[in-house]
Chain A
Amino acid sequence: MGLIAIGAGLAVLTGAGAGIGIGIATSKAADAIAKQPEAKGDINKALLLGCALAEATAIYGFVIALLIILFLK
């Protein structure tokens, strides 16, 4: 049980990468909007796409962790 919990915890560490990625993307987007408020719509669209792609890694980690907990017990 203990090892399974550790494995699941390690899998969820992927969330760190997604957090960093989304953080960088958002800070750059905020910069861009401050520079060019008129391009807000386009920037938001690109930001949303980038966030969705960055977030996917965290989701994969989560799915793996869930599978480890549910199917390896």
Chain B
Amino acid sequence: MGDLADKLMEELECRTPFTIPIFGGIPVPESCIMTWIIMAVLVIGSIIFTKTMKVVPKGAQCLVEGFICWMDNFFLEILGPKGKKYLPILETLLLYIGISNVIGLFGLRPPTKDLGVTATLAIFAILLIQYSGIREKGAKGWLKGFKEPMAFMLPLNVLELVIKPLSLCMRLFGNVLGAFVIMELIKLIVPVGLPLVFSFYFDVFDGCIQAYVFVFLTSLFMSEAMEEE
């Protein structure tokens, strides 16, 4: 038991592979390097898929266009026509979280396993939600929104500013961490064959669902923040 806990602890630790030797050394955590890899994959993928674009799509372009259209429709349905300007940022968020959850399939360590990454994503999401509210309703309308539906709800609505990102952050972190721990346990017990089967459930299915849920909730909160009385 103690041995197993030690091994798990070792896997759970957020390693820092190297430090940039300026200003007394800036540590570069592993999640940051994974993020660079994901960024490279996304950028190179986008360049490859958009280089040979045609008016009448063929082959891979069909697939990518279909996927982008599906995302566009999905977000527009939640946000309404006002949400058109937020589409790129939400889709990028979805792609990033999706790929970083699925990356465990290739034996890499998902960056969303790091609490720092999910906390950053959640803080970014709440800032986006408040920004969209201020932009659509104006600062006055946004402040008024805090005493909806009744004035005594004010403390609860202020508390929600903390609770929403906290629950977004812990949900993503807990799911990815849980999947990671179970995968590591399976790998310790049966190193060959079995991990592959479970990996498809825990890394691919669960990872995609969690990315979907994160962005879905963010856009739901955004439409709530934007709606006029």
A residues whose Cβ falls under 8 Å from a Cβ of B: 1, 48-49, 52, 55-56, 59-60, 62-63, 66, 69-70, 73
Contact among B170, B209, B212 for A63, CB-based, below 8 A: B170
User: Secondary structure at chain A's binding surface: helix, strand, loop or mixed?
Assistant: helix
Whether A56 lies near B216 (C-beta < 8 A) is no
Whether A59 lies near B178 (C-beta < 8 A) is yes
Contact among A1, A48, A59 for B171, CB-based, below 8 A: A59
Contact among B8, B170, B216, B217 for A59, CB-based, below 8 A: B170
Q: Does residue B20 face the partner (Cβ distance < 8 Å to A)?
A: no
Whether B216 lies near A70 (C-beta < 8 A) is no
A-B contact pairs, 15 of them (CB 8 A): A1-B1, A49-B216, A49-B220, A52-B171, A52-B213, A56-B170, A59-B170, A59-B171, A59-B175, A59-B178, A60-B170, A63-B174, A63-B177, A66-B181, A73-B5
Q: Does residue B173 face the partner (Cβ distance < 8 Å to A)?
A: yes
Q: Does residue B167 face the partner (Cβ distance < 8 Å to A)?
A: yes
Distance between Cα atoms of A73 and B181 in the complex (Å): 18
Whether B9 lies near A70 (C-beta < 8 A) is yes
Mark out the residues of chain B between 200 and 229 whose CB falls within 8 Å of any chain A CB in the assembled complex. 209-210, 212-213, 216-217, 220
Distance between Cα atoms of A30 and B81 in the complex (Å): 31
